[in-house]
Amino acid sequence: MLMHGRVISPGEAEGEALVSPEPIGFYGGIDYMTGIVIEKDHPLEGQNVQGKILVFPNAKGSTVGSYVVYALAKKETGPLAIINAQTEMIVATGAILGDVPTIDGIDINKIKTGDRLRVVAPLNDRVGTVEIL
């Protein structure tokens, strides 16, 4: 299945999906040193985002979350790519600074945890693709 969405941050990645049906708060929600979701009662609590393609509707919380997304990328404890239903400035800023391929406008309900995905977010194009392999 091939889905098209808006490129937020360019790049390519292939890997396993980790899907949250709920928004993610990066500041206080993910430990940037380990990549583990630490937000209490979050559907992904205790799971690690490192090396996954992180799929979630949107972010929540403080704008400091941008720096957490960036820190995850720089420490190599973060996701290979991010897919959102709607990306807002928190994720967009962190993803761009951290060179994390990011696409939004995707029907995330079609993606399940464990699906193998290929994300292609071209540098000079506004349209990217998410393929379930």
User: Annotated active-site positions, please?
Assistant: 62
CA gap 15, 44 in Å, rounded: 18
Length, in residues, of the chain: 133
Evaluate the CA torsion angle 84, 66, 41, 44 in order and state its sign. Answer: positive
CB contact at 8 A, 10 and 101: yes
